[in-house]
Each structure stands twice: as structure tokens, then as C-alpha cells.
Structure 1
Amino acid sequence: MGWLYVALTWEQPHRVFMALMFAVGAVSAFVLGRLPMERIVTSRWRELFFVGWNVGTIVLIATVVAADGGVNSPTTLIYLFPLLFASLSYPPRSIAIVYAAALGSYALVGLALTPDPDGARVFMGAASLALAPCVGFLQAREHSRERQALTLRTKTDALTGLLNHTAFQERLEVALREHGSVALIALDVDNFKLVNDRCGHAAGDAALQAVADAIRSVVRGCDLTGRLGGDEFMVALPGAGRFVAQRVVDRLSLALSVTPVTASAGVAVFPEDGGDRDALMDTADRAMYAVKRVRAEASHSRA
């Protein structure tokens, strides 16, 4: 589009320079398309990279606009493209940076590099540029909220509101990397099948929700709570050891005393009981089933 404009206005000044600037833009787009984009998007430098690329594009546009006589040039319309791209693709902080770069360069070209600058014209142009992509920004924000809600649904157990099996494992993996000690509590509801058989599945669901509420009532905000399936739950306590975990188990037993069910719990501590996620979860499970067997034998003896 830029090259066609240059060709149609070839008799005006600075056409060769403008054609070269559009060539720089074309080459940069070609190079961008050949970069390992997936690695860039997942790196911690992604925001700096994309904002830098967008600001560089704005500088290129400002240079072309200045060469074509300032803000009276129709090339000012090209400013819309990086603003629209940013408003649809970037988080709010990055959008603010790109907008500031675009509007600042527009004002600079309009007031300092345009012959006989008209302040009202510069103001109106800058205001229009600022407002035009706002619809895109609002739509992008709404899409972001929808994506966050969808992500939450895919990571949350629908019945209890705790993390589901996959999400809990992912978060536990992160906790093991970031903390020197993590206590893991495996929890299994006692005789849950009898609750379903005698009282119905609605009562069983209510019992599982009561267990989830009891778990939430005894953990910290930084702790991880998950329902791994059926009547199995797990609680991860980052930075905690066995003593703290046992106190949580005791408080949980007390919280469950006002519910229609009881639960057996086993504790494992990273790294002494397992050097990775799977080993730690397996140790906690075995500890929990050992407690469940002891309870069952004690109940059978009393009977």
C-alpha cells in the first residue's frame, strides 16, 4: 500500500526515502514471520519483544509521515494498524505503552515537523487515533474475561470448586520446584459407597461438597486443594513439614465432625518421602490407605 502511494505521488519530495522506509517495514515483517514465534510467546521476554517491535513500527510510521509533509499526509492513517493490533492482542500495560508511543510521535510530528502546524488539527487527529481502537480494546478485554472463565472451568472440579486432577498435579509440580519442603495430605472419604447406596447420589454429592468446604476452612490461601476423582482429595502445603501437616489433618477431622461423613488421611513430605510429584503422591496415598486399614480393623474388632 505504501509503495503504491509513493508511485502515485512520485513527483513529490522524499519519494525514494519513503520507498526505502516501506522496504524496511516489509523486510521486518518477513523476518518476524521467520522467527520461532512459539518460543517467543512462551518466554518471559515476550512482552518486551512485541512492545519493542510495535514501537519500532510506530517510529517507522512517524518517519514516513514526517517525510511526507507531516500530519497533513494521508500516511497518518497507517498509525491505526499498530494501535488496532495492540488493542486486540496485548495486555493493558503493553497497550498503554504502544498508545503513548503512537500519540507522542504523532504530536511530535504534528507540532514540530509539520510546516505551519495547526494545533486543533493535531489534537483532533491524536484524539481520533486514541479513540478508534478503543472498541477493539474493549472487545479484547471481554474475550480475555471469557478465556479466563473458560480456563477456570477447565481447571476446577465442577462439584466441589477445588482443583481437578490435572490442575492439581500441575500446581503441585510448580510448588515442588519453588519450595524446599512441601507436605502433601491424601484424603479419602470413609465408606462413601454406603452413602450413595443408602441415601442416593444427591446426598453423596452434598457430602463431597461438605468435605470440600471443610478442607477450605482449615488451609491457607497459598495451599493447594484438589479433588482427584470420586471421593479422593489432596491438599498440598508449600513450605510445611510433617508436624504442620498433621495439625491440618487434626483440624480437618474436627471440621468433618459436623458433616455426615468421616475421612482417612495420609501424609507425605517432600523431599524425604518422595523426590518428585508422582513418588510423593504415591507415598501419601499409601499412608492414607494404611490409616484406612487400621480404622477398618478397629471398627471390625468393636463389632
Structure 2
Amino acid sequence: MGLDDALIFTRVVECHSFTQAAQSLGMQKSTVSRRIALLEERLGVRLLNRTTRKLRLTEVGQAYYDRCRQIMLDFAEAEQAVMQLQQEPSGLLRITAPIEFGQLLLGRVLGEFMRQYPQITAEVELTSRYVDPVEEGVDIAIMVGQPQDSTLIGRKLFETARRLCASPGYLAAHGTPRTVQDLANHRAILLPHDSPRYWPVQGESVPCQRVLSCNNITFAREAAMAGAGIAGLPLLITEQAVRSGRLVELLPEARLPVGELYAVYPSRRFQAMKVKAFLDFLMGNLRIEGGHYAGAHGSAPVNIAALIDPSVRELP
């Protein structure tokens, strides 16, 4: 109410007329006159001296007008700044992402984006924990799996398969499983989203002997290569180790959950240009070819063997 009256008062002073002010505001002249009278009554001062021919500010009215005009200018400037943000990406972009994805891919893509839009600054947290973008004030949370909260929007980036793997040394000591049911006699390296009681094989309920749990796919791969047990790992992270003989892929018929990586954000409505532009840029530059990332602007391919963990997600 006070801000509306201040706007009406400012317009009356600048138009030097109740009639013209009413026309510019799309109001009745009687309404404008009544609102000014109510404003003076509320403030307990006279702001305008009225005659049949002109309006004249009182001393206190002049001081009030100067403050009101500055407020209106600040408001107009704020609106203009918001509209500019929607026209050209600028401002602080806050992002969270899984550790391996951030190290091997996000840094390069974000760097290219910031080179193209120098008005962008960024804060990035690489983490294995679950991040609520609304609660933590994050613009984009890159995470494994679709968001469970229906108020959040999830944009799928890509997916990757998982394979059961073990080292040649482990298989020499414990034998090689020939069927999925044979896994019941083997040591399991599990990630947080895996059941602690059963192997993560779809359509099967095979008990597992859990010997190690961890929240990082690189750690799980290294433990498997050292002979600690069998692990269900993303195909991309095992490519080089299998090729070099440090890991052996097991039971190709076993179906493990597919890992899906999503960019999660609060809402599409009134989405800041910086968020929309980066999401589009990320999708446009997220090209995975033969286990390698082909970056924008002709940059050299980068091995992305550790991009995604379809199990690492600490639920809140």
C-alpha cells in the first residue's frame, strides 16, 4: 500500500497534475486525489499545496519526493538488470557434480562456457553426497538418477552400463563364477546404492558376501584390481583395465542397473539465462565417442573412463 501510494505521489509531482497522473496510471482522477489525501493523513503531514491552477510541493513534500524518486529509479534499475540477466548469461553459477565427472569432464566444459561468456563466475563442489538444489541454493546439481522430488526438474545427460569385474589374481585364488548363482560363493565390493545383502543383478536374488563398501567408483575399481573381490562397475571405468588385463569382465549375461546421469534444477519457470545457457551448452558439448569426450572448439579428446557411478548416491 505504501509503495503504491509513493508511486502515485511521484507521478503526480512529475506530471504537475492529478489529471495527467491519473491518465498515465490508468486510474480515475478522484482515486488519485483520494490516495494522496490518505497518504498525507497516514504520514501526518501536508505534501502538496493545491490551487486551482497548479501544485506546489511543501518542504517536507520535496524531501519525501526526492526519496521516493530514488526508490523508483532503483526499482527501474533492478528490473533492467533482471531483464539483462535473461538476455545474456552473467552472474554466479553454482554447480555440484560427482567427483569423477567433475574432474574429467565438467571442468573442461565449464571452462569453455566461461570463455564464451566472460560475465559468468562459478562455484563448483565435487561430491558423492546427495544435494538438494533448493535447500542448498545450487543452480544445477548433476547427480546419478532421476530426482525423487517432483518439484525438481531432471534433464538426462547420458547413461552407461555396468559390468561385474575381478582381477586375475582374485579369480586364481577363488575361482571364476560360471553362472549368476555362483556369485553367492564370492566376495563382493559394493557401492552405497547396492543392496548389502544381494548382488546388484536385475531379475535375480543372489546373496552376497560383502567384504567392502565404498562411495567412490575409482576406489572400488582399485580395490577390485588389488584382488579384494568382485565389483559391479561402470563399463567406462573398466575399459582400460580390462584391455590391459588388470581386470576380467565376468558373466556378460548378468544385467546390472544402467547408470543415468541427470542435471537437476529447481524449475523451468523464470529460469535464469545463465542456467538455461549452461544446460544447453553442456548438452551440446557432451559428446562421448568410444569412451572418450570430444570437446567443443576442436579440443583434444579426453579419456572419460571414470565418468559415472550408477550406485553412488547418499539418500537424505
- Per the normalisation by structure 1, the TM-score is 0.23
- Point out which structure has higher relative CO (alpha carbons under 8 A, 6+ apart): 2
- Per the normalisation by structure 2, the TM-score is 0.23
More strand by share: 2
